[in-house]
Structure 1
Amino acid sequence: MARAENKTEAGGTARVVAALAKALREQQRLSQEELGALIGYTGSAVSAMETCAQPASDQMLIKLEESIGLGLGVFEKARGYIRADKYPPLFKDFAPLEQKALSLQSYAMLVVHGLFQTEAYARALIGGGYPPLSKQRVAELVEARMTRKSLFDRDPTVLIELVLDESALRRAVGSKEIMREQLIRLVEYGELRNVTLQVMPLARGLRGEHAGLHGEITLLESPDHEHVAYLEAQDESLLISDPAKVTTYTHRYAKIRAQALGPDESLGLIEQLAGE
């Protein structure tokens, strides 16, 4: 159900889309109910979109483009901007960089990296956080997270590396079935040619060295071959472009990767955990 407070929370893109959709609908002499029938939504859903009580979803934008877009492509172009509006504030600066990246290298410790999460896992994780979020906000964040997955088969290909701490594989989120599905999906991702997935074993510290104890990190290479580091902690984020600092994080990540299990052994461990 649409929330009244969304009218004040809606971003600038959502407001422009709402006004444009209404203008094009009226220009084509369609009622809200008639437009809803064309795009597979109720008239109430169209009304909620036009008043920003419920901004357009990614799927609704696709349907609007097909039905009343007049070949202009404006609703298609708006999809990326609407998606960015739905991201949490700490991720908004990094999100557009991620979608254009040539390469991504990440180390995740606490939970499965967002890019690799199943919808059920993401919903359980986001919905179970604190402070609690409304069902609508949870749905928005889950949708925004799922749309990031276009990166896996993007053209040009992006090279993706993930070192995942074993604790994240063993930490139950949602239910046993949700975890099993998530583990199976990780194996599927790890078998993609542009993805390298490794596991940092829990017992690594017994060897006397563990380069990952400083926390999670993501390294990104832009289309201009610039390198940045991205850090998150306690709903705060830090985007680092200083070359000296990025070099330090790059060296640390290289050590983390070297200390992790190899790709084949890692996938074998994940498959084993999925079968337990």
Structure 2
Amino acid sequence: MARAENKTEAGGTAHMVAALAKALREQQGLTQPQLGEKLGYTAAAVSAMETCAQPASDQMLVKLEAAIGGGLGVFEEARRWMLLEKYPAQFKNYVLLEQRALTLSTYVTFVVHGLFQTEEYARALIGGGYPPLKDERVEELVEARLARRGLFDRDPTALIELIIEESALRRTIGGRGAMRGQLLHLAECARRRNVTVQVLPIGCGLDGEHAGCRGDMTFVATPAHEHLVYLEPQDESILISEPAKVTTYMHRYAKIRSQAMGPRESLGLIEQLAGELQ
């Protein structure tokens, strides 16, 4: 929705796209209604894009590239950076690492990891958080979260590992239908050759040992073969690169993995829980 406050909230990429689109439109002798007709948008939508009252959506960027891009690829390149601007401030640096990771190993406790979330689950989770967000912002964050799933099919292939607490699989988010869809999607992800999903059983700790009691963590192996740990407690972003600390977290993660069910047993449990929600 076009809003006056968007003009000040819009990031640098949105303003650059707006200026470039206007310049190329005028260079090609097109009015806003004429460009709108080419794009399948109204003249008002073109005006809102050029003033950043409503920055270009991903779909509009694709159409701008085809209509006035002239083969330069600038609007196509802008898609990545426009998407990045939609992420929360504390997450932007990490998501660049995630996109380029050689391996990604994650342990989560309360909800399904964002990389594995369905649209319906993500919308319920983001929309139900606190403080409450405007509907437009919820949709932006959902779009940005779903875009992360491109990592699954990236070339070169990334190796992705998820260890998830059984309680997170039993916590119904967004209703039974949404949760069933989420579990089925997680099972589908688990069948990928570059993905391993393991469940930490709800009974872990009965014998006094629970290596994951200190919360979520993510390990990233970068193209430069650096090993980093990412933590996000209460919307804060912590990236750890100090080798001694990384080693401690890696040992803890290895212990968590040893306490988890195997991949095949984990997949069976996920499918069983999905079936119980029919």
Q: Which TM-score tier does this pair reach, normalised by the shorter chain?
A: over 0.9
Question: Cα deviation per residue 1:103-129 (whole Å; 9 max; x = unaligned)?
Answer: 000001111100000011111111111
Within 5 Å, which residues of 2 pair with 1:125-140? 125-140=125-140
Query: Could you tell me which amino acid in structure 1 is paired with residue 238 of structure 2?
Result: L
Q: Which residue of 2 aligns with 1:108?
A: 108
Moved over 4 A (4+): none
Q: Post-superposition shift, 1:219?
A: 0.3
TM-score (norm 1): 0.97
CA distance in structure 2 between the partners assigned to 1:38 and 1:28 by the alignment:
13
Residue 66 (1) aligns with residue 66 (2): yes
Query: Could you tell me which amino acid in structure 1 is paired with residue 219 of structure 2?
Result: L
Which SS does the other structure have where 1:196 is aligned? strand
CA distance in structure 2 between the partners assigned to 1:54 and 1:204 by the alignment:
49
Q: Post-superposition shift, 1:69?
A: 0.6
Q: Post-superposition shift, 1:3?
A: 2.0
Q: Post-superposition shift, 1:78?
A: 1.1
Which SS does the other structure have where 2:206 is aligned? helix
Question: Cα deviation per residue 1:230-276 (whole Å; 9 max; x = unaligned)?
Answer: 00111111011111111111111111111111111111001010011
Q: Which residue of 2 aligns with 1:47?
A: 47
CA distance in structure 1 between the partners assigned to 2:67 and 2:159 by the alignment:
36
Q: Which residue of 2 aligns with 1:222?
A: 222
Q: Post-superposition shift, 1:40?
A: 2.8
CA distance in structure 2 between the partners assigned to 1:220 and 1:60 by the alignment:
33
Which SS does the other structure have where 2:209 is aligned? coil
Which SS does the other structure have where 1:131 is aligned? coil
Q: Percent identity?
A: 69
Q: Post-superposition shift, 1:172?
A: 1.2
CA distance in structure 1 between the partners assigned to 2:29 and 2:144 by the alignment:
32
User: CA RMSD, aligned part only?
Assistant: 1.0
Q: Which residue of 2 aligns with 1:207?
A: 207
Q: Which residue of 1 aligns with 2:8?
A: 8
CA distance in structure 1 between the partners assigned to 2:129 and 2:105 by the alignment:
26
Query: Could you tell me which amino acid in structure 2 is paired with residue 53 of structure 1?
Result: A
- Please identify, of 45-54 and 125-134, the stretch whose mean Cα deviation from structure 2 is larger: 45-54
Q: Post-superposition shift, 1:36?
A: 2.3
CA distance in structure 2 between the partners assigned to 1:111 and 1:195 by the alignment:
18
CA distance in structure 2 between the partners assigned to 1:127 and 1:114 by the alignment:
14
Please list every run of 5 or more consecutive structure 2 residues that lacks an aligned counterpart in the other structure.
none
Residue 261 (1) aligns with residue 261 (2): yes
CA distance in structure 1 between the partners assigned to 2:39 and 2:187 by the alignment:
36
Q: Post-superposition shift, 1:39?
A: 2.3
Q: Post-superposition shift, 1:223?
A: 0.4
Which SS does the other structure have where 2:155 is aligned? coil
Question: Cα deviation per residue 1:131-183 (whole Å; 9 max; x = unaligned)?
Answer: 11111111111111111111000000000000011111111111111001000
Question: Cα deviation per residue 1:18-40 (whole Å; 9 max; x = unaligned)?
Answer: 10011111212222232223223
CA distance in structure 2 between the partners assigned to 1:147 and 1:176 by the alignment:
24
Which SS does the other structure have where 1:202 is aligned? coil
Q: Post-superposition shift, 1:56?
A: 1.4
Query: Could you tell me which amino acid in structure 2 is paired with residue 226 of structure 1?
Result: E
Aligned length in residues? 276
Query: Could you tell me which amino acid in structure 2 is paired with residue 156 of structure 1?
Result: P
CA distance in structure 2 between the partners assigned to 1:267 and 1:46 by the alignment:
48
CA distance in structure 1 between the partners assigned to 2:42 and 2:207 by the alignment:
60
